[in-house]
Structure 1
Amino acid sequence: MSIKSLLAIPFAKIVTKNVYQWANNPHKTQEKVFQYLLKNARKTQFGIDHDFENIHNYEDFKKKVPVVDYEGLKLYVDKVVTGEADVLWKGKPLYFAKTSGTTSGAKYIPITKESMPTHITAARNALLFYISEKNDASFVDGKMIFLQGSPVLQEKNGVKLGRLSGIVAHYVPNYLQKNRLPSWETNCIEDWETKVNAIVEETIHEDMRVISGIPSWVQMYFEKLVEKTKKPISEIFPNFHFFIYGGVNFEPYKNKFESLIGKKIEYIELYPASEGFIAFQDSQKATGMLLQLNSGIFYEFIPANEFFTENPTRISLKDVKMGENYVLILNTSAGLWGYNIGDTVEFTSLKPYRIKVTGRIKHFISAFGEHVIGKEVEKALNDAISGTKITISEFTVAPQVNPKSGLPYHEWFIEFENEPENLEVFASKIDTSMQSQNIYYFDLIEGKVLRPLIIRKVKKGGFHEYMKSIGKFGGQNKIPQLADHRKIAEVLEGFLIEN
């Protein structure tokens, strides 16, 4: 064990202790963040327009600051993009994180000198918490890989612009630079297939110990390694410690991953977003991710089942409950106010506050009033897979409102790695779980409004071909796991195999 890894353990213990100090005083911590945000934005255009001078508490804030999405802040963001200062936050941002939009095309999320360090600190702390809990930092002596977007940044009116993962690549600490792969040159490759092939060549003979990225794209990397060597990942990288991921629920991919790896490993889940680093898994023994209360974000929550009503309940952290599905609202030191990030979360612990991501508020199926959400779809698939050798590469769900014959149904597009012996039995297991979770879906099946779900098998590599066809083939793009329309389904129909 190197001096670096030996020193990492006591440092991790100190950081863990410091983090739990604010985590164990959550409401005081959030109140400090709330007052800090108001003070620093009081003289901005947004602060003046929304009378920040006369906001003294959270009740005042709710009256003056509406809940909005990107479209609701776009007039202000557009001013920031053109080069104006003191619009949403004091001064100008350091970066714009460019993300895919829907209504407005590309979205430009500001990252400021105050918000940027919180991204880096939270990512670092996730690793330090693992070290502290395990009393083991030996992974720092090997190589680490972070599958991410290109670090090449553009410029827009004096502000650097790029993908969040590409921006963060510029902040890898010096003590990890020698351990980090892929090389800068490989990381700058834009074409994803070319990039992954280059990463395979660079890493295949290295002592890889930590691997991180969105599961579907890391899976592609693993598959290429296995194909090239005819060995499982655990033999290629015998010191591979753990996998770090974020952005999607990992459970549907877990069987496939472990079959590629050839052994069980540990996982660290992160919840990073361009808008802020929201949470990370602080323990292998606890469920959920520790909510980052001291990172320049004041959190609000709206019960998901009220979100589309005229006057939904809007609460701060002190009023949340276990088992409730909430839409997450952010107020940040990057100048986002009353901002609906689009995700839904559920609390897994209140002491300390831990969350899990349950889906997207816009990603649901309610063609018949069933309001099926991502959490239910993922659990149903996991229930059906559990205890079997079935593995999947990717999936998505859409309503079939106008079938050629018979009743409407939910249509599941699944790319299998190891298929079930009986597809109808597998579909029945998923449907049974869906009915047990969602009373509306149960009533529609019982009332013969819907028939039980139908599975369509997508050919191997079909989802990758789909992503290429829409120009979103790459490490930071994710496929929605359900939608209330058939835009995705209609394209995927071209990548099916017969049942």
Structure 2
Amino acid sequence: MPRVERVRREPLAAQAAVLRYLLGRARGTEWGRRYGYAPGLGAATFAVRVPISTYEQLYPELEKVLRGQPGVLWPGPAPRWQARSSGTTNARSKYLPLTPEALHHNHYRAGRDMLALALHHYPALGIMQGKTLSLGGTHGPSPFAGRARAGDVSALIMQGLPGWAEILRTPPLELALLDEWEDKIERIARHVLRQDVRVLAGVPTWMVVLLRRVLALGGATQLEEVWPRLGLFLHGAVAFGPYQELFGELAPSLRYLEIYNASEGYFALQDEPGSADLLLLLDHGIYYEFLPLDQLESAIPQAVPLEAVQLGASYALVVSTNAGLWRYLVGDTVRFTSVRPYRVRITGRTKHFLNAFGEEVVVENAEAAVAFAARATGVQVRDFTAAPVYFAAGVAASRGGHEWAVEFNGPPPPSPAAFAQALDAELRRLNSDYDAKRHRDLALAPPRLHLLPPGTFEAWLRQRGRLGGQRKVPRLGNSRQVLEEVLALGKVASE
């Protein structure tokens, strides 16, 4: 694992080399000429010249690329692959170009590193002698350009895998890339039932659905009865805490490694088993900057380079990539747990938090508290979302609060009040701002809890064309839109 060792040992040199490479390659593009990319342009000058951009701010340039115009953000022809993200704050999809450099020097390179780490940590599994069951999305014609294809990044990666990697993977592409999710799960389950599956790879939410169908078809109660050599789950996209107990029941001897892979790039991976920390990949074609959260609403936000980050602080992730994204605000927030080497934990989304009353509850807090409440009450959570309850106008005693909608795997908690109390207590322990607002119920009332019928969140995703792949329900939001939609579906489902 020489590359992983180099990232650990020489992180700043790796990042400096990546920035030189990016600026050199993009000198002749429309963007590079606009912002004066030139030899010798340093990180400090780059940060002054080039603005930090959200997707909406960069979209006029992205649209040119998506419609086939060459040399706009990255040299050469417009890429034929476009990564589609469901977007996580509204129903509109985001589309991002996926260049050959990003595919091969970022996603595939990181995938090889992950495989090397798995072989190093778990040699007895014989990973190369069996199959990796990978569950991804689908792709289809782009809405922008005639010959381009757009889809989940997992599907685009799967479509172009090198031959040696395709040999290791199951199911075959004709099943893996099906776009009708219910049929896809059934056909994949039947195909993989008799295969020698040793590794699982995918999003926990949808992997559970597939694995339960495999168990049903195999007449088994645990996955080891179906796949005796199964030993590892490579997971990402959502926090694993709420799923840990469930997977422990499905496969008690399963080991886990987490990846941090998104439409914008493959950012980090879990290089040490047993740790929740993710090693930043610093020589995979992405240059990183980190925006303090108090800068998010600034007119001219000031990000810091890697060498200036502080342990324990949360930052919004800003990337410049070999897919032509320049100082792009990904939308994720991370917290540094180590700087020797640089490791992070994902704490949430810049737009996915509860802060209607100064409580600053991020997704990391919410997921940990929900997992705690589930353990405390002996249940398994399938999914959840939460939003504020705002002060009522004209009501003197009105207080704000949070309203939670939760769907369970199996029976709901015998005492919903006990679940809500455990959730509240753990949030207070994890988040001092929330605790201060909850003091004596003065500013925030205790959380309200709604138990949703099975299938509610799946119905919400299906209604918006997001079912399958890496699509997921927003966990938190200061708008009540998602919560109200989910509650309405739950009401219909229970009638």
Measure, in 2, the Cα distance between the counterparts of 1:83 and 1:18: 34
Residue 326 of structure 1: how far off its partner (Å):
0.6
Partner of 1:146: 134
Residue 28 of structure 1: how far off its partner (Å):
0.9
Secondary structure of the 2:175 match is helix
Calculate the aligned-residue CA RMSD, in Å.
2.3
1:197 matched to 2:178? The reply is no
Could you tell me whether the CA contact under 8 Å between 1:394 and 1:415 is conserved in 2?
yes
Partner of 2:401: 409
Trace 1:375-414 onto structure 2 (pairs within 5 A): 375-386=364-375, 389-401=378-390, 407-414=399-406
Partner of 1:433: 426
1:490 matched to 2:484? The reply is yes
Q: Deviations over 1:78-103 (max 9, x none)?
A: 22123222111111243221223468
| 1:298 aligned partner, one-letter code | Y
1:445 matched to 2:426? The reply is no
Partner of 2:94: 107
Could you tell me whether the CA contact under 8 Å between 2:357 and 2:400 is conserved in 1?
no
Residue 122 of structure 1: how far off its partner (Å):
0.4
Q: Deviations over 1:158-202 (max 9, x none)?
A: 444332112111233323433422122212321101100111111
Residue 113 of structure 1: how far off its partner (Å):
2.4
| 1:254 aligned partner, one-letter code | Q
Could you tell me whether the CA contact under 8 Å between 1:396 and 1:480 is conserved in 2?
yes
Measure, in 1, the Cα distance between the counterparts of 2:145 and 2:85: 15
Measure, in 2, the Cα distance between the counterparts of 1:34 and 1:137: 38
Measure, in 2, the Cα distance between the counterparts of 1:240 and 1:230: 14
Measure, in 1, the Cα distance between the counterparts of 2:298 and 2:312: 20
Trace 1:83-102 onto structure 2 (pairs within 5 A): 83-94=68-79, 95-101=81-87
| 2:233 aligned partner, one-letter code | F
Partner of 1:5: none
User: Which of 332, 341, 345 is matched with 1:343 structurally?
Assistant: 332
Secondary structure of the 1:114 match is helix
In structure 2, relative to structure 1, the CA distance for the partners of 1:437 and 1:103 (3 Å cut) is closer
Measure, in 1, the Cα distance between the counterparts of 2:125 and 2:414: 43
Partner of 1:178: 167
Secondary structure of the 1:217 match is helix
Segments of structure 1 that go 5 or more residues without pairing to the other structure are 1-15
Could you tell me whether the CA contact under 8 Å between 1:71 and 1:104 is conserved in 2?
no
Partner of 1:127: 115
In structure 2, relative to structure 1, the CA distance for the partners of 1:172 and 1:81 (3 Å cut) is closer
Residue 466 of structure 1: how far off its partner (Å):
1.9
Residue 285 of structure 1: how far off its partner (Å):
4.2
Q: Deviations over 1:325-383 (max 9, x none)?
A: 11000001111101001000112221211112111110011222322211111121233
| 2:9 aligned partner, one-letter code | N
Q: 38-47 or 132-141, which moves further after superposition?
A: 132-141
1:74 matched to 2:67? The reply is no
In structure 2, relative to structure 1, the CA distance for the partners of 1:162 and 1:384 (3 Å cut) is closer
1:246 matched to 2:236? The reply is yes
1:462 matched to 2:456? The reply is yes
Residue 139 of structure 1: how far off its partner (Å):
2.2
| 1:114 aligned partner, one-letter code | E
TM-score w.r.t. structure 1 length? 0.90
In structure 2, relative to structure 1, the CA distance for the partners of 1:387 and 1:412 (3 Å cut) is closer
Secondary structure of the 2:154 match is helix
Residue 108 of structure 1: how far off its partner (Å):
2.4
| 2:429 aligned partner, one-letter code | S
User: Which of 25, 35, 58 is matched with 1:40 structurally?
Assistant: 25
Could you tell me whether the CA contact under 8 Å between 2:138 and 2:469 is conserved in 1?
no
Residue 301 of structure 1: how far off its partner (Å):
0.1
Could you tell me whether the CA contact under 8 Å between 2:399 and 2:444 is conserved in 1?
yes
Secondary structure of the 1:156 match is coil
Residue 213 of structure 1: how far off its partner (Å):
1.1
Between the two proteins, the alignment pairs up a number of residues equal to 482
| 1:353 aligned partner, one-letter code | Y
Could you tell me whether the CA contact under 8 Å between 1:151 and 1:165 is conserved in 2?
no
Q: Deviations over 1:428-462 (max 9, x none)?
A: 12111212333332232225222111211111122
In structure 2, relative to structure 1, the CA distance for the partners of 1:17 and 1:388 (3 Å cut) is farther
Could you tell me whether the CA contact under 8 Å between 2:235 and 2:258 is conserved in 1?
yes
Residue 249 of structure 1: how far off its partner (Å):
0.6
Could you tell me whether the CA contact under 8 Å between 1:152 and 1:166 is conserved in 2?
no
Partner of 1:136: 124
1:302 matched to 2:297? The reply is no
In structure 2, relative to structure 1, the CA distance for the partners of 1:206 and 1:103 (3 Å cut) is closer
Residue 157 of structure 1: how far off its partner (Å):
4.7
